[in-house]
Amino acid sequence: MTEKKFSAGLVTIVGEPNAGKSTLLNALLGEKLSIVTRKPQTTRKQILGIYSSDECQIVFIDTPGIMQPKYKLHDAMINAADKARDDADAIVLIIDAAHYNAKRRLLADNLAFQRVASSKQPLLLAVNKIDTLKQNELILLLDRLSKEFDFKEIVPLSALKNRNVMELVNALKPYLPNDAPLYPTDILSIAPEKFFVSELVREKIFTLYSDEVPYSTEVEVEEFKEQFETDGRKDVIRCAVIVERESQKAILIGKGGAAIKKLGEAARADIEDFLQRPVYLELFVKVRQDWRENDGQLKNFGYK
């Protein structure tokens, strides 16, 4: 009996904001690596997640949603998505099925589709959020989408309900060019813990605050003192929350510090869950005037 050949490759997930890219990455890995909120433009950088099985390894890259840029930050986000696309062996375009149901939109109007339609790599379509459609609606939609573009494969799924997600892995297998794993098969990510900590704080800001505040906020871990492993004391994490204006600082902190206290408690719970150890989380707010438009600041925050 011949043994099945191992295959591996890099797959980039692209789509408009809120399509469900990060939810899909997490569903594929069975672990929450990428932050998810109801608000668009949650993800700002590439997030790499490594799926490994006996037969294959797929290094998925979650990317920021493609939108019309309004700030230099947006240019950097789109740039991150473009870069991830260029590196990929295959591309998964993901759409929110509800937006395309009943002919409400055409694929040609999708900003992410426009960016990847002529890519040299194989392009697959993930039709997400099928839990929001009736069966007959879905059948009609899939038929229509297959006529709008010649995708290598169209995979209907629900990332949130974890329906049909493994079908996407199967559909990608023919497009994985490597015959050996690209990363160790027992790791899910290569990003440092610091990165996930700052993302979890950002996620809570997206959940707890409204209007411009989440969009004007960046989070940086300034100190990460790991001591739990060595002497049993809680790790100490000091995190700067950066906003664009004094007025936003006041909103973030809230009356008598109530808002930031709530933020700290919510973030700490998730961070402890992620790190699987107790932490002491200290948050402080800094103003960096209009950082979203400032090349130097953007570079400092890791946007190229």
Ligand X SMILES: Nc1nc2c(ncn2[C@@H]2O[C@H](COP(=O)(O)OP(=O)(O)OP(=O)(O)O)[C@@H](O)[C@H]2O)c(=O)[nH]1
Question: Where do contacts with ligand X occur on this chain (CB under 6 A)?
Answer: 15, 17-23, 36-38, 40-43, 64-65, 128-129, 131-132, 158-161
Q: How far is the CB of 150 from Mg ion (least distance, A)?
A: 27
Q: How far is the CB of 67 from Mg ion (least distance, A)?
A: 12
By the rule CB under 5 A, 43 interacts with Mg ion: yes
Q: How far is the CB of 167 from ligand X (least distance, A)?
A: 14
Q: How many CB atoms are closer than 10 A to CB 290?
A: 13
Q: Which helix (H) or strand (E) element contains residue 62?
A: strand 56-62
Question: What's the chain's length in residues?
Answer: 304
Cα distance between residue 90 and residue 176, in whole Å: 8
Sheet holding 218-225, edge to edge: 218-225, 235-243, 279-287
By the rule CB under 5 A, 57 interacts with Mg ion: no
Which does residue 40 touch among Mg ion, ligand X, none (CB within 5 to 8 A, set by kind)?
ligand X
Q: How far is the CB of 119 from Mg ion (least distance, A)?
A: 20
Question: For strand 7-15 and strand 90-96, is the pairing parallel, antiparallel, or unpaired?
Answer: parallel
- In the range 90-119, which residues lie near Mg ion by CB under 5 A? none
Cβ proximity to Mg ion, 21 vs 74, nearer residue: 21
HEC states along 9-60?
A: EEEEEEECCCCCHHHHHHHHHCCCCCCCCCCCCCCCCCEEEEEECCCEEEEE
Cα distance between residue 234 and residue 227, in whole Å: 6
Cβ proximity to ligand X, 7 vs 158, nearer residue: 158
Q: How far is the CB of 110 from ligand X (least distance, A)?
A: 12
C-alpha separations of 237 from 35, 108, 241 in Å: 19, 45, 13
Question: For strand 90-96 and strand 47-52, is the pairing parallel, antiparallel, or unpaired?
Answer: unpaired
Q: How far is the CB of 254 from Mg ion (least distance, A)?
A: 27
Of residues 22, 121, 198, 216, which one binds Mg ion by CB under 5 A?
Answer: 22
Cβ proximity to ligand X, 111 vs 182, nearer residue: 111
> Tokens 């906003």, residue?
243
By the rule CB under 5 A, 12 interacts with Mg ion: no
> Tokens 């986000």, residue?
77
Q: How far is the CB of 122 from Mg ion (least distance, A)?
A: 23
Tokens of 178: 């490597």
Cβ proximity to ligand X, 123 vs 165, nearer residue: 165
Cα distance between residue 74 and residue 192, in whole Å: 24
Cβ proximity to ligand X, 156 vs 279, nearer residue: 156
Which does residue 12 touch among Mg ion, ligand X, none (CB within 5 to 8 A, set by kind)?
none
Cβ proximity to ligand X, 9 vs 65, nearer residue: 65
Which does residue 159 touch among Mg ion, ligand X, none (CB within 5 to 8 A, set by kind)?
ligand X
Cβ proximity to Mg ion, 45 vs 292, nearer residue: 45
Catalog residues that contact Mg ion under the rule CB under 5 A. 21-22, 42-43
